[in-house]
Amino acid sequence: MRILLIEDDMVLGAAVRDQIAADGHSVDWVTRLDSARDHLAVAGYNLVLLDLMLPDGRGIPFLRSLRLQGNVTPVIILTALDQISDRIEGLNAGADDYLVKPFDLSELSARIGSVARRYAGNPNPIVSLGTLEVDLAVRSVRANGRAVPLTAKEWVLFEAFLQRPQQLLSKAQLEERLYSFDTEIDSNTIEVHVSRLRKKLGHGVIETERGLGYRLGSP
């Protein structure tokens, strides 16, 4: 997934960013709401992690504004505000989950996975795809009972197809998933990673619609 992290605490922000990246997600980290608005205006995100007390305003009005604009991107609030009234306000404003600081980073990973599965229409973390068994919670793939290791970039792309099994994904949409990895995206980057996924998971796992993009197939 591509995640927008809005957090002004530099120590916590760095820890959360590193955790998200280690889980195989791409992440953009901003410390102000105005920067968050700029990012949301130009990029498509699968999830927003939102602190409530930012240098240029509070997160709740920001979240309400997103929802009023019709933005349905999942949002998990990360905050030190721990009163029941704070939780109710956050959830009523449109948050999908509410996590109180300090929190365990592994719990954050689990919450992210849970929200992602709900929005993908599959709350079950185990997905069967032909001969493949995919565990979305721990981000693992087995083919005929044998573990298949995927790199972080390969998982990010494979996850994009799993989240939209019936949809055609353009090359540009797939490139967006890789932008936050600190490497340059060449013109053939997607083709290279798709080829590697096919070698590991089966040639039919990703189908090509020539000139249009790719869609999930069956291995």
Considering only CA atoms, which of 63, 60, 38, 58 is closest in space to residue 48? 63
Q: What percent of the chain has pLDDT over 70?
A: 94
Looking at residue 34, its pLDDT comes to 95
User: Residue 55 sits in a domain of what CATH number?
Assistant: 3.40.50.2300
55 and 76 part of one domain: yes
Residue range of the domain that includes 159: 126-216
- Domain end position, chosen among 96, 119, 142: 119
Calpha distance 138→163 (Å, rounded):
15
Strands lying side by side in the sheet with 97-100:
26-30, 2-6, 47-50, 75-79, 97-100
201 and 132 part of one domain: yes
Q: What percent of the chain has pLDDT over 90?
A: 56
pLDDT above 80 (res 163): no
pLDDT above 60 (res 123): no
111 and 162 part of one domain: no
Global pTM exceeds 0.95: no
160 and 77 part of one domain: no
97 and 132 part of one domain: no
Between residues 118 and 55, which one has the greater pLDDT?
55
Under a CB-based contact definition with an 8 Å cutoff, are residues 13 and 128 in contact? no
98 and 136 part of one domain: no
Calpha distance 160→6 (Å, rounded):
23
pLDDT above 60 (res 110): yes
Looking at residue 165, its pLDDT comes to 77
Looking at residue 122, its pLDDT comes to 57
184 and 145 part of one domain: yes
Mean pLDDT of 10-23: 92
pLDDT above 80 (res 136): no
Q: How many domains does the structure of the chain reveal?
A: 2
185 and 110 part of one domain: no
104 and 30 part of one domain: yes
102 and 130 part of one domain: no
- Domain end position, chosen among 86, 119, 152: 119
51 and 132 part of one domain: no
Looking at residue 181, its pLDDT comes to 64
Considering only CA atoms, which of 38, 41, 47, 42 is closest in space to residue 4? 47
Looking at residue 126, its pLDDT comes to 77
Looking at residue 193, its pLDDT comes to 93
Residue 52 binned pLDDT confidence (cut-offs 50, 70, 90): very high
Residue 183 binned pLDDT confidence (cut-offs 50, 70, 90): low
Strand, coil or helix: 175: helix
Looking at residue 156, its pLDDT comes to 84
pLDDT above 80 (res 159): yes
- Domain end position, chosen among 89, 119, 149: 119
User: Residue 174 sits in a domain of what CATH number?
Assistant: 1.10.10.10
Between residues 167 and 126, which one has the greater pLDDT?
167
188 and 98 part of one domain: no
